[in-house]
Structure 1
């Protein structure tokens, strides 16, 4: 069943990417590029993609495809010294939006290049400096992020955004960033044998908060899921890790970490928060998304039961 669903998603993904690409190419002027009109086309396509009920993979691919065409027509990064302040701002905003959805190194590096040119022209502001820094962190380019921070003598509100230690990983297993002693540490994650639940969440998502409060507030569910549940946040841009610290202090038995790279977590195909994945001996059996204010504990119990996690004697 899941193989067929993944095949369908790949077909849909290819369709949306091609539509985004051909819409821009066919509608754009063949003559000299006008940054403003190209940015407007990118913005329209991005808004249309966001309005659709697309998977995360489809949305990221669509926005990235639209940005790639804009980038090529604007001749980035080579044309940057020739552009005006207003044109640079439009391109910075486009790269910022693409980086927001994708956490891509390429998009973050484009933001860095454009911001560097803005600085050379004497028109870089503090908000842009912080956006470049947080985008580089989201893309896991810690070296560039640290150099950027030092260059601009930026006082970052949460210095522990940067990971300490090696980022190398030769394993085929996914990795996560955990809060350890006030710092971020990258560790490997392996699905255990038996029934197990992976919950995709975000400390700042209200629906995620409803879910963890309902689950940890239910003694039976809390006991049944002890050692059988993993809370993981998507790879994303964080202005601060305070929400993660607060969560882990409040829910000692349900700590949350962040995916180092979402692309490593191949067993997760949707990063909508919250989404619950139910595994048995490492094999995905079912999933469901969402947790309204009234809760979904009955659905949770049924899904747990199907992978051998019992909530009753």
Structure 2
């Protein structure tokens, strides 16, 4: 893949992180891809299709076998300036696809050396903050904000309940009228329930919720069992979700704390309706190009007995 094409796709991925729509990646995580350069690896994986969990395994395997040792802290000082900049870009890509805490810490080490050499950029600084917050490394993110006041676009702290976290289904809820976030566990109910993956910046998510809000009969069928859930994204756009909840008081949106806790869903595309019964997904209805998508939602409600 040409470099210019790869850069354009990476920018598209970064935009997609904000919109909750990731590109298709690779299905197989075989050893053959580990021998590719990071650019070749990204190009190879782009054209294949796999789940979010499979994608993460692929990227983590590539990091383990191809990046961790060459970019080990003991070797960083010997890297030329351009190679050190490339190390930052390579590791940031891995964090983007995995939200892996160990890789985010590794990224911080590379950034520290870049700053020592006078090579650090504002974009890299923001990237470090975003990577830490995205991986739920709140202490390093807060330290960066304190060390570089006024230089970062920061997100509100997340107050995490004792039983919530990365490995269990966890919702981030916005406090009404305050710039505060609260992460609470969301036990997948045994009774019929619906989770709609949506995004405040997604036209189709807005079209879906507007259509639902106008459809009194359909809202009665949901019977309070509908939960709107925004994807775990690189940048948490608090103001967008606060405005969404102000505009849609009957259909407020929470945010996925970490995609790992929602392994039964694919929280990358929006809007998608997941219909649960007995704690398991029984039906999926994807997309909302127009109101004909209502039929898929009705079929899902029928499938779970609502």
Structure-1-length-normalised TM-score:
0.80
How far 1:202 sits from its partner (Å)?
A: 2.1
Where 1:203 maps in the other structure, the secondary structure is coil
Tell me the residue number matched to 1:32: none
Structure 2 CA distance for partners of 1:55 and 1:151, relative to 1, 3 Å: same
The 2-side partners of 1:208 and 1:15 are apart by: 27
Check whether the contact 2:26–2:49 (CA below 8 A) recurs between aligned residues. Answer: no
The 2-side partners of 1:103 and 1:156 are apart by: 20
How far 1:163 sits from its partner (Å)?
A: 1.4
Tell me the residue number matched to 2:270: 273
Choose the corresponding residue for 1:123, options 119, 122, 125: 119
How far 1:216 sits from its partner (Å)?
A: 2.1
Check whether the contact 1:103–1:235 (CA below 8 A) recurs between aligned residues. Answer: no
The 2-side partners of 1:178 and 1:302 are apart by: 29
How far 1:193 sits from its partner (Å)?
A: 4.7
1:25-104 map, 5 Å: 25=35, 41-104=37-100
The 2-side partners of 1:168 and 1:114 are apart by: 32
Choose the corresponding residue for 2:202, options 200, 205, 219: 205
Structure 2 CA distance for partners of 1:266 and 1:240, relative to 1, 3 Å: closer
Structure 2 CA distance for partners of 1:93 and 1:293, relative to 1, 3 Å: farther
Where 1:284 maps in the other structure, the secondary structure is strand
Choose the corresponding residue for 2:284, options 268, 287, 309: 287
The 1-side partners of 2:54 and 2:38 are apart by: 16
The alignment yields a C-alpha RMSD, in angstroms, of 2.5
* 1:1-42 superposed Cα distances (whole Å, 9 cap, x missing partner): xxxxxxxxxxxx997112xx33333x6xxxxxxxxxxxxx11
Tell me the residue number matched to 1:17: 29
The 2-side partners of 1:57 and 1:192 are apart by: 22
* 1:160-199 superposed Cα distances (whole Å, 9 cap, x missing partner): 1x214x5643798522111113201111212345321011
Q: Which moved more, 1:194-203 or 1:172-181?
A: 172-181
Q: Which moved more, 1:89-98 or 1:232-241?
A: 232-241
Is residue 224 from structure 1 mapped to residue 224 from structure 2 by the alignment? no
Q: Which has the higher contact order (CA 8 A, sep 6+)?
A: 2
Tell me the residue number matched to 1:113: 109
Structure 2 CA distance for partners of 1:258 and 1:170, relative to 1, 3 Å: closer
Structure 2 CA distance for partners of 1:64 and 1:293, relative to 1, 3 Å: farther
Tell me the residue number matched to 2:212: 215
Tell me the residue number matched to 2:172: 177
Check whether the contact 1:194–1:308 (CA below 8 A) recurs between aligned residues. Answer: no
Residue-pair matches, total: 279
Gaps of 5+ in 2: 1-24
Choose the corresponding residue for 2:138, options 142, 162, 181: 142
How far 1:75 sits from its partner (Å)?
A: 3.9
Check whether the contact 2:26–2:47 (CA below 8 A) recurs between aligned residues. Answer: no
Where 2:49 maps in the other structure, the secondary structure is coil
Where 1:16 maps in the other structure, the secondary structure is coil
Check whether the contact 1:103–1:236 (CA below 8 A) recurs between aligned residues. Answer: no
* 1:110-129 superposed Cα distances (whole Å, 9 cap, x missing partner): 22111111011111111111
Check whether the contact 2:27–2:49 (CA below 8 A) recurs between aligned residues. Answer: no
How far 1:269 sits from its partner (Å)?
A: 4.7
Tell me the residue number matched to 1:196: 193
Gaps of 5+ in 1: 1-12, 28-40
Check whether the contact 1:211–1:295 (CA below 8 A) recurs between aligned residues. Answer: no
